[in-house]
Structure 1
Amino acid sequence: MVFQGSSVAISHTGKVRSNNQDSGYAGSNLFAVADGMGGHAGGDVASSIAVHRLEQLDQPYESTAAAERSLRDAISDTAVQLIDTVHDRPELAGMGTTVSALVMVDDYAVIAHIGDSRIYLFRDGSLTQITTDHTFVQRLVDSGRITPEEARYHPRRSVLMRVLGDMDPEPEVDTFIMPTRPGDRWLLCSDGLSGVVDDPHTTKALAQGMAPGRTADALLKQALDGGAPDNVTIVIVDVGGAHPLFSGTPTIVGSASNPDGVDVPAARPGRTSWLHPGRQAANEPTHFEPAPQFLEELIEEDKRRARRRRVGWIVGIVVVLGLIAGGLWLGYQFTQTRYFVGADEDTVVIFQGTQQNIGPITLSTPYEDTGIPLDSLSDFARATVQQTISASSLSDARRIVADISELAGGGG
Structure 2
Amino acid sequence: MSVASPNPNPAADRPAPLYMYSTTVSDVGTVRSNNQDSSFAGEHLVAICDGMGGHAGGDTASTIAIRSLTHIESDSINGDVARATTILETSTLAAHDAIVGKAKRERKLAGMGTTITAIALVGDWWVLAHIGDSRAYLLRDGHLMRLTSDHSYVQHLIDTKRISEAEARNHPQRNVVMRVLGDFDIDARPDISIRRAQAGDRLLLCSDGLCGVLEDSTIEETMLHFTDREECAQFLVSMALKAGSTDNVTAVIADATLALDAEAFDVPHQTPVVGGAASANLNSLADILHEPVLSAPPLVGKSSPAERAAALVQQDSAPREPSAAQTVAQPSEVREDYGEIKDTDTGEIPVVHKSDGRYSADPNDPEVAAQIREAEIAQDERAHSRRFRGRVAAICTTVVVLALVALGIWGGYAWSQNRYYVGVADGQVALYQGMPTDIFGQPLSHVVQTYPDLDVSKLPSTSQNHATTKDEAEDTIEALREQQRQDEARQQAEEEAKEQARKEAEEQAKKQQEATDKPSATKSPEAKE
Q: TM class by shorter-chain length?
A: 0.5 to 0.7
Matched, 1:137 2:137: no
Question: How many angstroms apart in 2 are the aligned matches of 1:273 and 1:120?
Answer: 21
Matched, 1:21 2:36: yes
Letter of the aligned partner of 2:150 in structure 1?
D
> 2:46 is matched with which residue: 13, 26, 31?
31
Task: Name the CA shift for 1:246/1:189 in 2 (closer, same or farther; >3 Å).
Answer: farther
Matched, 1:159 2:185: no
Contact 2:18-2:199 at 8 Å conserved across structures: no
Letter of the aligned partner of 1:249 in structure 2?
T
Question: How far 1:171 sits from its partner (Å)?
Answer: 1.1
Matched, 1:188 2:193: no
Partner of 1:126: 143
Partner of 1:91: 108
Task: Name the CA shift for 1:270/1:30 in 2 (closer, same or farther; >3 Å).
Answer: closer
Which string of whole-angstrom CA distances, capped at 9 and with x for unpartnered residues, describes residues 190-217 of structure 1?
0011011111111111011421111111
Which string of whole-angstrom CA distances, capped at 9 and with x for unpartnered residues, describes residues 51-72 of structure 1?
0110011134231110000011
Structure of higher CA gyration radius: 2
Question: How many angstroms apart in 2 are the aligned matches of 1:9 and 1:155?
Answer: 30
Structural RMSD (CA): 2.5
1:241-320, aligned counterparts within 5 Å?
A: 247-259=269-281, 271-275=297-301
Matched, 1:112 2:129: yes
- Aligned structure 1 segments of 4 or more residues deviating by more than 3 angstroms: 167-170
Question: How many angstroms apart in 1 are the aligned matches of 2:96 and 2:36?
Answer: 17
Matched, 1:52 2:67: yes
Contact 2:26-2:296 at 8 Å conserved across structures: no
3-state DSSP of counterpart to 1:253: strand
Letter of the aligned partner of 1:256 in structure 2?
A
Question: How many angstroms apart in 2 are the aligned matches of 1:270 and 1:147?
Answer: 35
1:367-382, aligned counterparts within 5 Å?
A: none
Contact 1:60-1:105 at 8 Å conserved across structures: no
3-state DSSP of counterpart to 1:159: coil
Which string of whole-angstrom CA distances, capped at 9 and with x for unpartnered residues, describes residues 105-139 of structure 1?
11100000000000000111111111000000111
3-state DSSP of counterpart to 2:219: helix
Question: How far 1:29 sits from its partner (Å)?
Answer: 0.5
Identity, % of aligned positions: 42
Task: Name the CA shift for 1:128/1:167 in 2 (closer, same or farther; >3 Å).
Answer: same
Question: How far 1:227 sits from its partner (Å)?
Answer: 2.1
Question: How far 1:49 sits from its partner (Å)?
Answer: 0.2
Partner of 2:222: 205
Q: After alignment, is 166-175 or 40-49 more displaced? A: 166-175
Task: Name the CA shift for 1:86/1:128 in 2 (closer, same or farther; >3 Å).
Answer: same
Contact 1:111-1:175 at 8 Å conserved across structures: yes
How many residues are aligned here? 271
Question: How far 1:16 sits from its partner (Å)?
Answer: 1.0
Q: Normalization by structure 1: what TM-score?
A: 0.62
Partner of 1:61: 77
3-state DSSP of counterpart to 1:43: helix
Matched, 1:78 2:100: no
Contact 2:275-2:296 at 8 Å conserved across structures: no
Task: Name the CA shift for 1:273/1:147 in 2 (closer, same or farther; >3 Å).
Answer: closer
Question: How many angstroms apart in 2 are the aligned matches of 1:65 and 1:114?
Answer: 19
